[in-house]
Amino acid sequence: MITRSSGIVLHISSLPNPYGIGTFGGSAYAFVDFLKQSNQKYWQILPLVPTGFGDSPYQSCSANALNPYFIDLDALRRDGLLEFDKYAYVDFGQDLDYVDYGTLYEARYKVLRMAFDENGRGKYKEDIDKFRGDNSDWLPDFALFMAVKSHFGMVALSEWPDADIRKRKAAALKKYRETLADEIEFQEFLQYLCMKQWFDLKKYANENGVRIIGDMPIYCAEDSAEVWANPELFKLGPDGSPKVVAGVPPDLFSATGQLWGNPIYDWKRHEKTGFEWWINRMKHAGKLYDVVRIDHFRGIESYWEVPAGEPTAEKGKWVKGPAMKLMNAIFTAVPDIDIIAEDLGILSDEVVEFLKETGLPGMKLLVDAFDNPGYESGFLPHNIIQNCVAYTSTHDSPTFSDYFHNKASADARGYMMNYMRLREDEGINWGVIKSAWGSPAVLAMTPMQDVLNLGADARMNLPATLGGRNWQWRVRGEALNEHVSEILRYITKTYWR
């Protein structure tokens, strides 16, 4: 249960690390120490799944697997799986401020393969056998999917040249399980290491009073093990391609809407199974995290459905989702899980009523609270209800500093300065953090970028865009210092979080 408290949003990839990307290693443990010293009770991360199209963790090849990039190489050395000189001088990307996914892709798996071939193949055999059994609802299909994908040069599922394995014909499944047995074993090995290192880190966080908030994308990617292994659970055509895809309609932020392209669930089929797939997914998430934030939660009540092949999201329609049927099934099967509902955007009365019926906390975003000084927004701190999570900004929004200095009107900036009653020696970051921390919200969260008062260069993602710096930002180790910790600790104590 969430009680009045606060925390910081920082994805694993954004942690400092000399090997190209943040991992489950030493800097993650150091960040837990930083949170503890700052009196923070929550650490929120983005999805831990492998990144996919556009390097996004919201377009992954799996809804359950973890990203092998997060495996700590120094831990493999300590476990006798790697020699230091096999990875210490490899180019994983030279930029300490941004992840270089292209360079990482070329180098990381070669090093992990060395660990598997030289010592890892037999070292954890019994443990991996047990791990395989404990995760039998997703791991075998995922490992085979990735082995076949690798065999075909990592092309998308829709482009696999062998139609029989694409359609999961029995003979083809048997053939590839036999011919690709070594690669399948390697994929299982990677997932075992990921889970082992993650659960060690989570245990350390929990022992130090820090709970983990994980993020669950509502949809699966078309090029994913889930769509391949469970085609009947999605609205697909005879050739396995989506008949309709997900997105959001045109609004104030986009004249053509957002076309995400994810296949849409066949909710009638899910209901016939008692929502078994979703229950298994939530049980898995409940093991990985202490709290689960479901992204685009409103899509469970009603979702925007666009015919496949449309160039934009404009010609879609609203379709009713399973709403409380799904949520009641989850609440019954996984009664102890804490859930945060991402309910941002333009909401219908039905969605508002649905969220109220679930009893789940939604989100209030302060970066959207001050745009119109003449209008008393429901996102203003004094209007925020208790059963919600107040965020200064999110991974999809500008940082608060960027918003304040570059996007807000002069009237909005003046109103914010007056509202937050900033001292001359304070940055806008501490003003908005104090506003969130002082609100009635049961939980207040801020991205690390806002703690450090960083601007546009530190933005995590610009929705509906590819390229640029999306998903790449990293924090410098020296930024997680005692001075910053002391201020956070003071604010947190002041507002009884």
The rounded distance, in Å, linking the Cα atoms of 376 and 260 is 32
pLDDT digits (tens, 9 = 90+) for 154-205: 999 999 999 999 999 999 999 999 999 999 999 999 999 999 999 999 999 9
**3-state class (DSSP) for residue 350:** helix
Mean pLDDT for the chain? Answer: 95
pLDDT for 400 equals 97
Which of these, 445, 471, 467, lies nearest to 459 by C-alpha position? Answer: 471
Counting Cβ atoms within 10 Å, is residue 177 exposed (0-12), middle (13-18) or buried (19+)? Answer: middle
Whether pLDDT at 342 is above 90 = yes
The rounded distance, in Å, linking the Cα atoms of 180 and 128 is 18
Q: State yes or no: is 396 an active-site residue.
A: yes
Contact, 189 vs 116, CB < 8 A? yes
The rounded distance, in Å, linking the Cα atoms of 40 and 172 is 51
pLDDT for 209 equals 98
Whether pLDDT at 387 is above 80 = yes
Mean pLDDT of 458-486: 93
pLDDT digits (tens, 9 = 90+) for 1-35: 899 999 999 999 999 999 999 999 999 999 999 99
pLDDT for 425 equals 75
Band (pLDDT 50/70/90 cuts) for residue 293 is very high
In the sheet with 291-294, reading across from the earlier edge strand, the strands are: 338-341, 291-294, 211-216, 42-44, 5-9, 443-447, 388-391, 362-365
Partners of 445 in beta bridges:
7, 391
pLDDT for 251 equals 80
The rounded distance, in Å, linking the Cα atoms of 408 and 282 is 39
Share of the chain above pLDDT 70, in %: 100
Contact, 102 vs 224, CB < 8 A? no
Whether pLDDT at 292 is above 80 = yes
Compute CA distances 464 → 56, 89, 103, 461, whole Å.
11, 36, 24, 9
pLDDT digits (tens, 9 = 90+) for 95-138: 999 999 999 999 999 999 999 998 888 888 899 999 999 999 99
Domain positions in the chain are 5-494
Q: Which two tokens stand for residue 206?
A: 């929990």
CA R_g for the chain = 23
Q: Which amino acid is at 417?
A: M
The distance from CA 286 to its chain's CA centroid, rounded to whole angstroms, is: 14
Residue in 222, 295, 343, 450 annotated catalytic: 295
Which of these, 399, 409, 416, 407, lies nearest to 459 by C-alpha position? Answer: 399
Compute CA distances 370 → 15, 366, 414, 419, 444, whole Å.
31, 7, 10, 10, 18
pLDDT digits (tens, 9 = 90+) for 54-102: 999 999 999 999 999 999 999 999 999 999 999 999 999 999 999 999 9
The rounded distance, in Å, linking the Cα atoms of 446 and 392 is 5
The rounded distance, in Å, linking the Cα atoms of 227 and 166 is 11
Mean pLDDT of 413-437: 91
**3-state class (DSSP) for residue 469:** coil
Residue in 301, 342, 343, 402 annotated catalytic: 342
The rounded distance, in Å, linking the Cα atoms of 128 and 191 is 9
Band (pLDDT 50/70/90 cuts) for residue 439 is very high
Q: State yes or no: is 343 an active-site residue.
A: no
Q: State yes or no: is 295 an active-site residue.
A: yes
Band (pLDDT 50/70/90 cuts) for residue 214 is very high
Contact, 392 vs 446, CB < 8 A? yes
pLDDT for 261 equals 93
Helix and strand element counts for the chain (H, E) = 19, 12
Mean pLDDT of 437-445: 98
pLDDT digits (tens, 9 = 90+) for 229-249: 999 999 999 989 999 999 999
Whether pLDDT at 489 is above 80 = yes
Whether pLDDT at 252 is above 80 = no
Band (pLDDT 50/70/90 cuts) for residue 467 is confident
pLDDT for 90 equals 97
Helices 428-438 and 482-494, packing angle to 10 deg: 30
The distance from CA 183 to its chain's CA centroid, rounded to whole angstroms, is: 27
> In CATH, what is the architecture of 5-494?
Alpha-Beta Barrel (3.20)
Which of these, 319, 454, 440, 346, lies nearest to 399 by C-alpha position? Answer: 454
pLDDT for 436 equals 98
pLDDT for 121 equals 82
DSSP 8-state secondary structure symbol assigned to residue 413: H
Mean pLDDT of 359-384: 93
pLDDT for 30 equals 98
CB atoms within 10 A of CB 377: 16
